Structure 1
Amino acid sequence: MTKAEIFDKIADIIADRFEVDRDAINDQLNFKQDLDADSIDFVEFVLELEDTFSAEISDEDAEKLNTIGEVVDYINAHQPGDK
């Protein structure tokens, strides 16, 4: 899956979960600052990412993900079968 495809899927999740205009979502969008996501929102988002991308994101790694771009890069680097 390309980074663009990953971004599109993540943007769709964010638009739905956080009720954000899909066109307003970009790589620099910050979960806490721009989406006002609390820890529960973020945990639920990470769980949805794990389901969507068949990936496991450790709590330690999840804590380092602040922007959409960071999430896209993380998912891209941890795709199943890309070892």
Structure 2
Amino acid sequence: MSEAEILDRLRQILHDSFGIEPARVVPETHLFEELDLDSIDAVDLAIKLQELTGRRIKPEEFRNVRTVADVIVAVESLLKS
């Protein structure tokens, strides 16, 4: 899965789960500051990403995720493992 495909899937997840307009979801976007996600939303997002990748996300790997680009890197890492 390419970065663009991951970004498209992430846009879809954020729109379906949190009502966030896909146009707002770009790599530089901060999840908590700009998209107003909270810690519970982050857990929900991690679960959705686990479903997307078929792999478990370790909490310590997701703890440092702050931007959409960080999520893309985390998904790429999961897909490679």
Do the two structures share a fold, i.e. TM-score over 0.5? yes
In the alignment, structure 1 segments of 5+ residues that lack a partner are none
Kindly indicate whether the alpha-carbon contact (under 8 Å) linking 2:62 and 2:74 is maintained by their aligned counterparts in 1: no
Identity of aligned residues (%): 25
**Matched letter for residue 37 of structure 2:** A
Identify, as 1 or 2, the structure richer in helix: 2
Q: Are 1:48 and 2:59 counterparts?
A: no
Q: Which runs of 4+ in 1 moved over 3 A?
A: none
Structure 1 residue 2 displacement after superposition: 1.0
Structure 1 residue 77 displacement after superposition: 2.1
Equivalent residue number for residue 6 of structure 1:
6
Work out the number of aligned pairs and report it.
81
Structure 1 residue 78 displacement after superposition: 2.1
TM-score (normalizing by structure 1): 0.87
Question: What secondary structure sits across from 1:33 in the alignment?
Answer: coil
Q: How does 1:69-80 map to 2 (within 5 A)?
A: 69-79=69-79
Q: What do you get for the CA RMSD once the two structures are aligned? A: 1.2
Q: How does 1:1-40 map to 2 (within 5 A)?
A: 1-40=1-40
Kindly indicate whether the alpha-carbon contact (under 8 Å) linking 1:18 and 1:35 is maintained by their aligned counterparts in 2: no
Larger relative contact order, structure 1 or 2 (CA cutoff 8 Å, min sep 6): 1
